[in-house]
Chains A and B, each alone.
Chain A
């Protein structure tokens, strides 16, 4: 455990010693802020319209209208591009500078190294999620959103990002070149993201399987504020798969010069 935390601390420090952490946090905050502005404006305009037309028709809650739109509509796509920036250096940089030799000749197991790196990356990602509360917090000050569905949203976002991080780390074991690791991860994420699109056109067992495998389709329930076991299992499986593939890849790495 001490080894895992030592490596996680080292990774987190590396993010904050380099521009990556600040770049990712800035992009994330800007986009969050922009979306927050757009959706609150729209919500305010809609409520004024409703007041003027009489209060009889059903009206979406703050949760549905603002928070869900932000998370499900756009931020999950932003993450497809931001998370590769976080994962691309995990193994590539160590391979390039030769520090991988230090890690692999230290009395720590491969699993401890992998978990350490994963926890480090996850900590940076958790910082991003925390940043969204800069804006969501305003809703609690000036409105009355429901906290419970929000927790489901955050959990879903965390699991979704966690799966992307594990897969991105796996990609970074293949190359010394961070840019390649980042681009390949992005392409992989995009493909996994659009897998459910065929099922929206034709519905058959094949498109259904594709839809199940899609990274995006499992966030729907979380976005509605529902924690459904199959979705949790899906993301946890993706995380375990990513870590497992990383372990296999690191093992193969040692056979080569």
Chain B
């Protein structure tokens, strides 16, 4: 549905996006993950035809964004980081206006407005001026605007930024409900969002793709082995001995103990799920099992691992004090 090939965007000497390639299949939700200033917004602006790429190609719904921009734009819904709202219009006037310029046929417009208002739960505020709405409602009007023409592709730039926790949950639910009919790209720098809403992740850092794959896949790829945490009540030495004998287990390390209750960290071979066997071994030995969970490296860890490495080598951080000194010298 979306193909991005060797996309590059230069602002003068600065390289905002450098040789980015990825694909999104129909119906997928792709998470675009990266720190602020990584090039997420620039990539999205290129995909929506707002900015021309310096180099490379992007195809949206089968149309090249540089060669047939109007056709591509007809099939794309876009929510920029700041929802593009006209504060003096009522939500109804606004949706009608956007529907018209997005090419919704006149006879369908009213029905479409009703549908998106229902889907985004903004029916109650349709008559109110957008400038008087709360941030959560404005965000939802922004999403309603993006789907008014029922686009095949939906591009959402930080859709949950600046919302309160309840609004964030509602917005995520809304995005998930849209996933079936639309192919979605959403950008975020908030990690849990990705594992909660996306099928696939592209981690972008300093304008380059740092990693790509399903959230679980990324977990797996970056770990040497799988780690399971078990909390058991029973004789420590026997437990270690028994668990060590479970097929696939490399190492059992005691972690912490609270009374007779102890937690062990168990390292298994990569790609080997030993959780069922562990549980069986413990229960058959008549010990009390309190907790058993994988302790994969969280997306948070992966993200930091992928992005901080480069940042620490960045010479820019050294430039800041110099500038400060210069200013002090001039003064």
Binding site for B on A (CB under 8 A): 2-3, 6-7, 9-10, 13-14, 17-18, 97-109, 254-257
Bound Cα distance from A256 to B14, whole angstroms: 12
Is the CB–CB distance between B93 and A13 below 8 Å?
A: yes
Given pairs A99-B86, A102-B78, A107-B70, 19 additional interface contacts (CB within 8 A): A2-B106, A3-B101, A6-B101, A10-B89, A14-B86, A18-B88, A97-B85, A99-B84, A99-B85, A101-B45, A101-B80, A105-B73, A106-B102, A107-B71, A108-B70, A109-B70, A255-B52, A256-B11, A257-B16
A109 CA to B101 CA in the complex, in Å?
10
Partner of B88, one of A7, A17, A256: A17
Cβ–Cβ < 8 Å partners of B106 in chain A: 2
Q: Which chain B residues in 61-111 approach chain A with CB under 8 Å?
A: 70-71, 73-74, 76, 78, 80, 82, 84-89, 93, 97-98, 100-103, 106
Does B188 count as interface, using CB distance less than 8 angstroms? no
Is residue B145 within 8 Å, beta carbon to beta carbon, of the partner chain? Answer: yes
- Measured between beta carbons, the chain B residues less than 8 angstroms from A106 are 73, 98, 101-102
- CB of A232, distance to nearest CB on chain B (Å): 33
* Residue of A14, A99, A107 ringed by the most chain B CB atoms within 10 A: A107
CA distance A205 to B86 in the complex (A): 50
Interface size on B (CB < 8 Å)? 32
Say yes or no: is B51 at the interface (Cβ < 8 Å to chain A). Answer: yes
7 chain-A/chain-B pairs, Cβ below 8 angstroms: A3-B101, A6-B100, A101-B45, A106-B98, A107-B70, A255-B52, A256-B11
Query: CA–CA, A98 to B108, complex, Å?
Result: 28
Interface pair B51/A255, CB less than 8 Å apart: yes
Chain A: minimal CB distance from B68 (Å): 10
Residue of A nearest to B78 (CB): A105
**Contact assessment for B86 and A105 in the assembled complex, using a CB-CB cutoff below 8 Å:** no
Q: Is the CB of A10 within 8 A of B86?
A: yes
B227 in contact (CB, < 8 A): no
Asked if B48 is an interface residue, CB under 8 A from chain A, the answer is yes
**Contact partner, B82, options A2, A9, A13, A98, Cβ 8 Å:** A98
**Residue ID in chain B nearest A10 by CB atoms:** B97
5 closest residue pairs by CB, A with B? A102-B84, A17-B88, A6-B100, A107-B73, A99-B84
Q: Chain A residues with Cβ under 8 A from B49's Cβ? A: 104-105
Identity of the chain A residue whose Cβ is nearest the Cβ of B145 in the assembled complex: A102
A-chain residues with CB within 8 Å of residue B52 when the two chains form the complex: 254-255
Indicate if the CB atoms of A108 and B101 lie closer than 8 Å.
Answer: yes
The interface residues of chain B lying within 8 Å CB-to-CB of A255 are 51-52
Closest Cβ neighbor of A6 among chain B residues: B100
Q: How far, in whole Å, are A103 and B89 apart by their CA atoms in the complex?
A: 16
Nearest CB of A to B223, in Å? 38
Contacts of B86 in A (CB 8 A): 10, 14, 97, 99
The answer to whether A103 touches B51, judged by C-beta atoms less than 8 angstroms apart, is no
Q: At the interface, yes or no: B50 with Cβ under 8 Å from chain A?
A: yes
**What is the distance, in angstroms, from B14's C-beta to the closest C-beta of chain A?**
10
Shortest B99–chain A CB gap in Å is 9
A10-B86, A13-B93 are contacts. A107–B50 as well, Cβ < 8 Å?
no
A2 to B70, CA, bound (A): 15
| Chain B hits for A102, CB < 8 A | 78, 80, 84, 98, 145
Is B42 an interface position by the 8 A CB rule? yes
User: Inside 8 A of A13's CB, which chain B residues have their CB?
Assistant: 88-89, 93
B97 touches A97 (CB 8 A): no
Q: How far is the CA of A109 from the CA of B49 in the complex (A)?
A: 12
B97 touches A6 (CB 8 A): yes
**Residue of A10, A13, A102, A108 with most partner-chain B CB within 10 A:** A102
**Contacts A13-B93, A257-B11: A107 and B103 contacting too (C-beta < 8 A)?**
yes
Once the chains are docked, how many angstroms separate the CA of A5 from the CA of B142?
23
A17 and B131 CA atoms in complex are apart in Å by: 12
Q: Which of B11, B50, B89, B102 sits near A104, CB closer than 8 Å? A: B50
Distance of A2 Cα from B104 Cα, bound (Å): 11
A254 to B42: give the CA distance in the assembly, Å: 12
What chain B residues lie within 8 Å of A104 (beta carbons)? 49-50
Min CB distance, B85 to chain A, in Å? 7
Given A10-B86, A17-B88, A103–B48 Cβ distance below 8 Å?
Answer: no
